[in-house]
Chains A and B, each alone.
Chain A
Amino acid sequence: MFKPEKNNNIDKVSLTLDGKQIFLPAATSVAAGLLGINEPVSKISSTSGKPCSPYCLMGVCFECTMEIDGIKRQACLTEVEEGMEINRGLKGAEEKGK
């Protein structure tokens, strides 16, 4: 959905996303980092059972909430850190619906 502009050379850090190792640019939010590597889905809505994606990127909509190091946090307000563990809980989407 988004791609980095051409002259975008930033250091990368290593994180775990749903059990897999990924690399995101340092000094960005988790939400921006994930959008930049084409991971637009942030969670499965616990009320509709549908996938959600970041909407506002400024801490208002809560659509980018994901489990980061064991706690559900707004990814757009959480700075990327080396070794972070992110779980989006994308499996079992259908069962979660009302």
Chain B
Amino acid sequence: MSRYDVIIIGAGPAGLSAGAVLGEMGLNVLVLDEQSVVGGQIYRRIETAPEHRLKFFGRDYSRGLALADRFKKSGAKFEGSATVWQAESDGSVCYSRRGKSKMVWANYILVATGAMERPVPLPGWTLSGVMGAGAANALAKEAGLVPAGRVVLAGSGPLLLLEASLLLKKGVDLLAVLETTPVMPPVAALPKGVQAILDPGLLFKGLKILREIKKSKIQHYKGVKDIRVIGTDGLESVEAMHKENHLNFTADILLVHFGVIPNTHMVRQMGCAMEWDHIGRFWQPKCDEWGRTIFERVFTAGDGAGVSGAGAAAFKGELAALEIARCLGILNSSDRDRFAASVKKAIKQDGFARPFIDHLFAPRFDDSWFEDETMICRCENITVGEIRRVVAQGVKDVNEVKVITRCGMGPCQGRMCGPALAEVVGQALSICPEDAGLLRIRPPVKPVPLEEIASMDMGSDGGMDANWLLDKK
């Protein structure tokens, strides 16, 4: 089988819920994910999680069970360990799985690639021992691993504090939490606070976490600056400035977290138009209320389309699915709207506190954030200073900086350096990062062995069967 009604890329909350809705309607759906099993990041390995782990992570994790179960029963087909390396707006999808690459087609593609932690270059962040806080969370869900040794948490955002409370619960030797968020909330956040009161559950959760951290008596600093990692081959200590004081922690692990941003490589490779989120300082695909991108047959849903959390992601997956079903002639418009009404209401309710949180933890990078010596591109070993030198020679676009410095040219294709690159170029030119451009993403979105490409079955016509859609419908 190489032709589907819908191909969904990503089996997290958005992809699973869309897959379930479409599968239940009897459509021919293929869901692909890089991981071996469903769940995405938030519900990682949910189906095989032991009882104590479900309990430990609480409802935020365990509610994924029902979703995974619904998906499984829906009739949608899942292929794990499947890496999509090229997708096009004509409905073609190339992916690699178990040493073989193949090309498949769909009438509609839904990209649900989720979010990733914002990578923020710090002095020494390439040293062994420095990881994303999300990585520690993933290891706990996937393999029941707990950080061993002395841990420092640093960065900003609600998930940083959540991770702190989880580590405390596990009895991890947490030395300190270094928050870069200012002590006083920014003025812009305050009006949004009123609306946030409509979601008391979430606020209550936040307060509970803060109370736990306070009770634990670990050192918790706000408004921290100049975080740096000291070590030769691995992390030895973490330094920072708090007001006028030098902080110094001899540690084994530094977990960093600076909020999350959409994982956009897939939609960018497809050529979807992107728009800049001024508060979150990230790019997201431009789409309509159903998640349709500028391409008629390409949809996005979930955090990959704009960060709003797992709950909203599942709902948005459902909305996209309803519209795709209408396009495929399964639903009429009024039924779609009727089914969508309750979903839209749920999205609204889920999002009451979101603007407040977004403003409260809005990322800010002033001129002193990035030091010349800091490694910005881990793949190609390029420093912030090298970027600045090229900009000083008259270059104004991140893609031009890339061809000259190789920043963003390695295997990760700018996933780790792209956001910071735009900030550095923007600062050097005194413009918004939005105007410094966005790195172009070309196939393969992920590396593939040449032998796989060479032995791919291209079909007699190279696969491009333009009239197939018309023939079928």
Which A residues lie at the B interface, using CB under 8 A? 1-5, 7-8, 25, 27-29, 32-33, 35-36, 40-41, 45, 47-48, 50-63, 65, 71-72, 74, 77-79, 98
Contact = CB atoms under 8 A, between A and B. Distances in A.
Contacts of A40: 128-129, 234
Contacts, number: 132
A60 B378 contact: no
Contact of A32 (B83, B117, B143): B143
14 contacts: A1-B128, A1-B253, A25-B143, A45-B381, A50-B233, A53-B131, A55-B132, A56-B116, A56-B135, A57-B135, A58-B41, A59-B35, A59-B446, A62-B412
B81 to A, nearest CB: 6
Given A47-B381, A58-B134, A5 B145 contact: yes
B236 interface: no
Interface in B444-460: 446-447, 449
Given A4-B145, A35-B145, A56-B116, A77 B134 contact: no
Contacts of A53: 128-129, 131, 234
Contact of A62 (B52, B234, B379, B449): B379
A1 B146 CA distance: 9
A58 B147 CA distance: 17
Nearest to B130: A55
A5 B412 contact: no
B113 to A, nearest CB: 10
A24 B454 CA distance: 33
Nearest to B252: A1
B191 interface: no
B138 A58 contact: yes
A58 B245 CA distance: 36
Contacts of B381: 45, 47-48, 98
B146 A77 contact: no
A57 B146 contact: no
A51 to B, nearest CB: 6
A3 B139 CA distance: 10
Interface string B143-180: 11111110000000000000000000010000000000
Contact of A2 (B35, B52, B145): B145
A1 B149 CA distance: 7
Contacts of A56: 116-117, 131-132, 134-135
Given A3-B148, A32-B145, A61 B416 contact: yes
A20 B140 CA distance: 27
Nearest to B449: A71
B181 interface: no
Contacts of A59: 34-35, 446
Contact of B139 (A57, A62, A79): A57
Contacts of B252: 1
Contact of B143 (A33, A65, A74): A33
A15 to B, nearest CB: 15
Contacts of B349: none
Given A32-B139, A60-B416, A61-B412, A2 B81 contact: no
B79 interface: no
B263 interface: yes
B248 interface: no
A8 to B, nearest CB: 4
A53 to B, nearest CB: 4
Given A55-B130, A77-B35, A61 B148 contact: no
A60 B415 contact: yes
Contacts of B449: 71
A45 B36 CA distance: 27
Given A29-B142, A36-B145, A55-B131, A77 B34 contact: yes
B144 A47 contact: no
A23 B139 CA distance: 18
Given A4-B145, A32-B139, A47-B381, A79 B36 contact: yes
Contacts of A41: 128
Contacts of B375: 48
